Chains A and B, each alone.
Chain A
Amino acid sequence: MSDRTLPRILQTPAVLLLLVWMIVPLSMTLYFSFIRYVLNSTVRPEWTTPSLSNWRGFGNYAYVLEAKDFGFAIMNSVFIVVSILLITVILGLAIAVLINKSFPGQGIVRVLLISPFFVMPAVNAVLWINMILDPVLGLQGLAVGGINSLIDGLRDWPILGHFFSMWPQVEPISFRATQTSSYAVIMMVAWQWTPFAVLIFMTSLQSEDESQKEAAVLDGASNWSQFINLTVPHLARSIAIVVMIQSIFHLSLYAEIEIVSRGNGNKNLPYLIGEFANNNIGAASATGVFAIILANIIAIFLLRLVGKSLMD
């Protein structure tokens, strides 16, 4: 057997499996996106089975483009991903720089800090939306209730009471509806992924050239300018990788959105596809094709950004 055939055979199963996994469902999505295909229709029962005779051309695409949630879902997908990226990278940088130097208990701090990353998304969402953010029974509700009864108590004070009676009651925020549910999702995902960013930045910081920094100190550079001019460029590659990995995961967020508000007031493209897929498969597939196009644009951009440094 020649030197070339064997390696090819060894990587064939992996390549073949992924190829089938990619091509078969994708071509079905493409096909469904061009036909009329609904799961329940009493008026047009012929539409309930996929068939070329139900050809609709770009009709599904036009329908999706006009659907009221489509533009919102795209904007919201981007809003959620970009917000999470900004929070995790900035917080991650700050924390990594802070805890980079060794100190007593650093090992335990690392372990405590990384723990959120291993919590399964379903538990993450259930925990945050119920036990922490619930406006009545969660910690938020209890805290607001506590503050309000404290203010109530102060109102009974002899003279100062007049002052406190001008204070409004504190209103708890409901995170289960409207735009606030996207804030809840951003909060819980950022909680989960900031530790990941910290861990990667810390690892990268350990290889930072200390002599450069010492030279900068001798030149009278401030801490801030050291951070901006030396540390951030040194971390550029890690930042790019954190952005890439997180984009992969967050563009397809689903469980959190489902659990927080079932998509009320807050949906991304995957969630919109899920909603269409309850009945209108043609529209779901066309939305899927749009999602693939969006993912490809982002993927090309990210792989350009990071791909080279991965291969060195």
Chain B
Amino acid sequence: MATVTQTSRLGTVLRPTAAWIIALIFFFPIFWLVFTSFKTDADAVQAEHLFFFTPTLENYTNMTENYDYWRFAMNSVITSSFATLFAMAVGVPAAYAMAFNPSRHTKDILMWMLSTKMLPAAAVLYPMTFLTKNILQIYDTHFLVILVLCLINLPIAVWMLFTYFKEIPKEIIEAGKMDGVSTWGEIKDILIPLAWGGIASTALLTFIFCWNEAYWSVRLTTINASTLSTLIEGNRAPEGLFFGRLSAVSTAAIAPIVVLGWFCQKQLVQGLTFGAVK
């Protein structure tokens, strides 16, 4: 009996305390970033103002002046939104076909798609620059960033959609076919309403990945179509002079996505493990 009470005390006091401490440790760097963003650049590097200082919003009000923040933010919004939209437009029909009319090759195609994710992007860095700059002349355009973001996220989007669609009973779709509904009608009136949750969380995750992407969107742009990743990477080494303003612009860059992430953290698991972990 003694052991039982001991375990339950461990369960009611120690476990939650430890869990909270761990969560706070993991959240601390983000807290610190937001906290620093309310300090002046001078206060941000002084030990005596580590915790006590006069909070200021100047880093946020000067963000346009210091970093031209909104131009980069708009580019991130535009490229991530359209890339997500296109990935869904191409991915939903593909996943629909694979889930409800699988052929002998469906499994191989899915595996092949996943394997394209494993190709190192850097291996085609120069060919991509050469192609887009010299031949197609779309270097540093929104179109290019949208296209590339869409392509690199397509495999995971198709996979996620496929696992969501697989859970819909085939009979429902087939009943529609019996009633003479067209394929487009099946997708629009039966599949999309039924799988809405899955499609929405796939889109949300794709959007998050697009927003955070930091290889192609930096290396295939110069000024015109650069996203927030480029902005932050370009101000990587301020030598301690601008911790306040750098924290503010970083906070502004991650805030929308972190908040969005909070809402889809449950779907994240099913999505990123392709439904294999339940």
B-binding residues in A (CB < 8 A):
3-4, 6-8, 10-11, 13-15, 17-18, 21-22, 24-26, 28-29, 32, 95, 98-99, 101, 103-106, 108-123, 125-132, 134, 136-137, 139, 142, 145-146, 191, 194-196, 199-200, 203-204, 207, 237-238, 241, 245, 247-248, 251-252, 254-255, 258-259, 269-271, 273-274, 277, 281, 284-285, 287-289, 291-292, 295-296, 298-299, 302-303, 306-307, 309-312
Contacts of B278 in A (CB 8 A): 203-204, 207
- Looking across the interface, which residue of chain B has its beta carbon closest to that of A111? B262
- Is B57 part of the binding interface, using a Cβ–Cβ cutoff of 8 Å? no
Does A204 lie within 8 Å of B127, measured CB to CB?
no
Q: Taking CB as reference atom, which chain A residue is nearest B163?
A: A310
Name the B residues within 8 Å of A134 (CB-CB): 240
Contact B232 A288 (CB under 8 A): no
Among A95, A109, A137, contact of B45 (Cβ-Cβ < 8 Å) = A137
Q: Name the contact of B93 in the complex, choosing from A13, A237, A281 (C-beta under 8 A).
A: A13
Is residue B70 contacting chain A, with contact meaning CB distance below 8 A? no
Whether B269 pairs with A200 at a CB distance below 8 angstroms is yes
Instruction: Please name the residue on chain A nearest to B157 by beta carbon.
Output: A14
Q: Tell me how many residue pairs across A and B have CB atoms closer than 8 Å.
A: 297
> Are A137 and B109 in contact, with the CB atoms below 8 A?
no
Known: A203-B277, A292-B120. A17 touches B233 (CB 8 A): no
Comparing B14-22, B138-146, B192-200, the segment that makes contact with chain A is: B14-22
Q: Is the CB of A11 within 8 A of B98?
A: yes
A7 in contact with B103 (CB, 8 Å): yes
**A110–B29 alpha-carbon span in the complex (Å):** 16
Write out the residue numbers on chain B whose beta carbons fall within 8 Å of the beta carbon of A8: 97, 103
Contacts of B45 in A (CB 8 A): 137
Given contacts A11-B98, A115-B262, contact A125 B26 (CB under 8 A): no
Tell me whether A112 and B233 are in contact (CB under 8 A).
no
When the two chains form their complex, are residues B27 and A112 in contact, meaning their CB atoms are under 8 A apart? Answer: yes
B27 near A126 (CB under 8 angstroms)?
A: no
Within 8 A of A (CB), among B239-278: 240, 243, 246-247, 250, 253-254, 257-258, 260-262, 265, 268-270, 272-274, 276-278
Report whether B265 and A110 are in contact in the complex, using a CB–CB cutoff of 8 Å.
Answer: yes
Closest 7 pairs (CB-CB, A-B): A288-B123, A270-B122, A118-B261, A25-B124, A28-B127, A7-B97, A7-B101
Who on chain A is nearest to B130 by CB? A28
- When the two chains form their complex, are residues B29 and A254 in contact, meaning their CB atoms are under 8 A apart? no
* A60 smallest CB distance to B (angstroms): 13
Nearest chain B residue, comparing its CB with the CB of A242? B273
User: A126 to B122, Cβ gap below 8 A?
Assistant: no
Q: How far is the CA of A109 from the CA of B114 in the complex (A)?
A: 32
State how many angstroms separate the Cβ of B239 from the closest Cβ of chain A. 8
| Seed contacts A15-B109, A130-B238; 5 additional CB < 8 Å A-B pairs | A11-B97, A123-B254, A139-B32, A191-B29, A271-B122
Give me 19 A-to-B residue pairs in the complex whose CB atoms sit less than 8 angstroms apart, sorted by A's number.
Answer: A4-B101, A4-B103, A6-B183, A7-B98, A17-B90, A21-B151, A25-B124, A29-B123, A32-B126, A113-B26, A117-B261, A119-B212, A119-B257, A122-B236, A123-B33, A130-B237, A136-B240, A252-B121, A285-B126
Is B1 part of the contact surface with A, judged by Cβ < 8 Å?
Answer: no
Give the residue name and chain of the B residue nearest to A307 (CB). Answer: B111
CB distance from A272 to the nearest CB of B (A): 8
Q: Which of A10, A110, A292 interacts with B119 by CB under 8 Å?
A: A292
A119 vs B258: C-alpha distance when bound (angstroms)? 7
Nearest A-chain residue to B263, judged by Cβ: A111
